[in-house]
Amino acid sequence: MQQIPVSLWTLVAGIVVTAASVWIGHNHTLLPEQASLQAPLVDGFFNIMFTIAIALFLVVEGTILVFLVKYRRRRGDDTDGIPVEGNVPLEIFWTAIPSVIVIGLGIYSVDVFNQMGGFEPGNHPHSVAHVAHASGTAMAATLNDTAEATSAPSIGIGAKNSDSKPADLVVNVKGIQFAWIFDYPNSGVTTGELHVPVGADVQLNLSAQDVIHSFWVPQFRLKQDALPGIPTELRFTATKTGTYPVVCAELCGGYHGSMRSQVIVHTPEEYDRWLTESKLAQTPDLQQAVAVNPADLSTSEFLAPHIHNMGISAATIKSLVNSHE
């Protein structure tokens, strides 16, 4: 019986490994659902890396299994193995291939990071970072307030788009041990949860009051450090309504594990309703904002909201009131 050439076995194995790697790399369930415009970019890069990892795993482990069977010790064979000192072409091959893969992934990752808005050339506040590092936590809070009050450039994902295109919604996010505080500067609302409308371009201005925190939403595939004294930024667009966890991904103290919140993505109508209710709830004179005491109103003022339903005009109401005085 004619023996099958090694080259043919290699070709068949290569086809099988490639097909299996591509299928597994694009049909896994390792990542949570995509809920932001930036998520597909990250997932595409992850799928490529996972495909390559699966291929390498199958090649290496498959070779080990083949060698275990083919070159196993036979019964009664006590001779030494074949002396092999090295194979220069093989060593060049297994050094060159990983080098090409790593360089390719590096270029791809830079492109993904750039598409997400992670680059802002020549705009890194080195001096502020150096002072914050040298001064320690005690000085960090003062530097943080100063940085927020000035026009120091932000660093982070989406920072390069800040000057060219204003965001639809701006939220100031402060990390403290051990909670997140969300402040809506244009409406005066402050909450412990992040509320955003679906499809809106959202800009988070991140800061930290005490130590380094990291703002992470797994479903958005976005993570950005909140640094004492250095303003950072995270910009995203949510694509699915729902409630998603906000996790601190930087060890920040004894209760770091409990530093969690959530981001609630509303429809535009639901978001407007939430914003209105939050403004009302945080009105200083809540009693006056919620209800008006009828005893403080004149007869015409009391009946004014009901004019339309009564089918009469304001002038008629006024004349009736005057006739009874």
Domains of the chain and CATH, by start: 13-67+101-116 (no CATH), 152-281 (2.60.40.420), 292-319 (no CATH)
The β-bridge relationship of strands 260-266 and 194-197 is: parallel
**How many other C-beta atoms can be found within 10 angstroms of the C-beta atom of residue 27?**
8
Q: What is the pLDDT of residue 145?
A: 41
Burial 44-65 (b: 16+ CB within 10 A, else e): ebbbbebbbebbeebeeeeeee
Amino acid at 273: R
H/E element, 191: strand 189-191
Q: What is the pLDDT of residue 78?
A: 83
Question: Which tokens go with 320?
Answer: 């009736």
H/E element, 68: helix 39-70
pLDDT, tens digit (0-9, with 9 covering 90-100), for 57-95: 999 999 999 889 988 888 888 888 788 888 888 899 889
Q: What is the pLDDT of residue 295?
A: 60
Query: Is residue 175 exposed (0-12), middle (13-18) or buried (19+ Cβ within 10 Å)?
Result: buried
Q: What is the pLDDT of residue 143?
A: 39
The Cα-based distances of 96 to 59, 100, 322 in angstroms read 16, 6, 98
Question: Which tokens go with 275?
Answer: 């914003």
Q: What is the pLDDT of residue 209?
A: 92
Question: Which tokens go with 130?
Answer: 């150096």
- Interhelix angle 88-115/39-70, nearest 10 degrees: 160
Spans of the chain, pLDDT less than 70:
1-2, 119-154, 159-164, 284-297, 299-314, 317-318, 320-325
